Structure 1
């Protein structure tokens, strides 16, 4: 998924350079990782971008109780000085990986994250993982996830409507995930230099808003993640005992010994 997605965004960026806007789709793909990776590929080239993908079923359509929609991310980025604005969010209340991780640690989850297999709200992480995670903002998150199915699934020619393979359990057939990459010049409707001035003014106005209690700084989307990336590159990625145990378990299955 990563190689195909990287190439598709490169094609979209190339078209945007030549024509102002470029759009590419990928089908017969797999999980492509973090959508923001491809957004940054576009902003590094001076382009704004959307990235859409569908995913294996994990979330009910609004009003349902069975898994049907994926927790497909809604992802957008725009250049903004030395740090782009990057929005990359799952359309579930919480990423399903957090429920899986809580289940592996025998930890409870907050009420409102998931339903069990019978459609009942639960704080039991294992039951939530065996059931469904809930859409972000109710019907709104469900509607946006359906949009991902239409664009990345139906329109791309990939699997859709609950037919995408599960990367954790379906190993005998391709996942057939679909992706869509849309890149465009952020100054399409402006005079030279106006975009840069206007986006910086928007950020300034946003940061100057009265802050809520306990807030020291108003953050732009992607700013917290960018700071964390700098820290991780400097100090490394800290893993707790349970994460290391799971990695060692998978390494042993592959015949690899982890060094202490």
Structure 2
């Protein structure tokens, strides 16, 4: 497949509507053995990431997920168990289900409990890579709730002062509703560079920025393949990022009963065992402290005031966390989602295996057609 447009990596791209891509990916997972509703959840999780411009957590991940399902490393039909451990607390055993399925079930529980109790705490074990972390806290926004999502992940960079991968990039996600203004939506990995970007760069044959990684001998590198081949990423903010990554391992792994201390499986490399990723979700209602309309008004005041602040040289607009991603979503819903040639070919190969039709793409954005 070829296209006229290019991504930042210089790859040619094709465009596809979000609804078509969602249906295509859902069909792949349903053919792999997932129940229809779960297949749709996984597809929605991946396509939501593409819409928000987080392509490293989008349908690029589908072939790896499918391979793990076929090899029995992700349970296609998990028996997810939810245990009430206190009035507003739940413990979830994901039974090695796909991360998007387990995470969505756990967030539904967190929202339900917070609706009744005002707040909730849900710990999850025996889960897997669950895609874009913002996907879960965005669900709470639909119910006017504040949500925080912690997770651990497979080794990506060392503890401060080390040279061997140990802690994960472990993204932290937070969502806070607003009124007329943009809600606050944070989705932040513990590394300067999201690990998915490394795999994308390696596939595209491009380099990564300097100062973000070491090779297997502890030397600085810009070669993503050198990083993948025994190297290590570096945390953002030096010792501060390393400290936060340890906190993510405590909340996601130690507290939940999931794997921790460098024992979480890598979805791309460890095809001999489950990942056993752990998460922790927190939700609460802002109207515990003041009427909801007052809280939203105060949030609107904060957001508007932030955006009015004097701008640094060369800056046209001050954006709040989540605003850039929401603009990407709005644009891609109209123009279609751009997919690289490589991703298209891999998805078409998966369709061929499943006996399904190939992607229905176009070489240019939909706008102006």
RMSD of aligned residue pairs (Cα, Å): 1.8
The equivalent of 2:194 in structure 1 is 95
Report SS of the residue matched to 1:227.
helix
Q: Map of 1:191-230 to 2, 5 A cutoff?
A: 191=291, 193-230=293-330
Q: Deviations over 1:74-111 (max 9, x none)?
A: 11110012542100011101011112221222212211
Distance in 2 between residues matched to 1:247 and 1:134, nearest whole Å: 31
The equivalent of 2:213 in structure 1 is 114
Selected match of 1:242 from 334, 342, 348: 342
Q: Cα 1:9–1:251, aligned 2, differ >3 Å: closer, same or farther?
A: same
The equivalent of 1:165 in structure 2 is 265
**How far does residue 252 in structure 1 lie from its aligned partner after superposition?**
5.8
Unaligned runs of 5+ in 2: 1-98, 361-369
**How far does residue 217 in structure 1 lie from its aligned partner after superposition?**
1.7
Number of residue pairs matched? Answer: 260
The equivalent of 2:109 in structure 1 is 11
Report SS of the residue matched to 1:7.
helix
**How far does residue 186 in structure 1 lie from its aligned partner after superposition?**
1.9
Q: Cα 1:16–1:173, aligned 2, differ >3 Å: closer, same or farther?
A: same
**Equivalent pair of 1:96/1:129 in contact (CA under 8 Å):** no
The equivalent of 2:204 in structure 1 is 105
The equivalent of 1:85 in structure 2 is 184
Distance in 1 between residues matched to 2:117 and 2:173, nearest whole Å: 22
**How far does residue 214 in structure 1 lie from its aligned partner after superposition?**
2.3
Report SS of the residue matched to 1:258.
coil
**Equivalent pair of 1:78/1:186 in contact (CA under 8 Å):** no
**Equivalent pair of 2:344/2:359 in contact (CA under 8 Å):** no
Unaligned runs of 5+ in 1: none
Task: Say which is worse superposed, 166-175 or 249-258, in terms of deviation.
Answer: 249-258
**Equivalent pair of 2:214/2:220 in contact (CA under 8 Å):** yes
Distance in 2 between residues matched to 1:6 and 1:192, nearest whole Å: 25
Distance in 1 between residues matched to 2:355 and 2:244, nearest whole Å: 42
Q: Deviations over 1:26-81 (max 9, x none)?
A: 10011111111111111111100100010111111111111101110011110012
**How far does residue 216 in structure 1 lie from its aligned partner after superposition?**
2.0
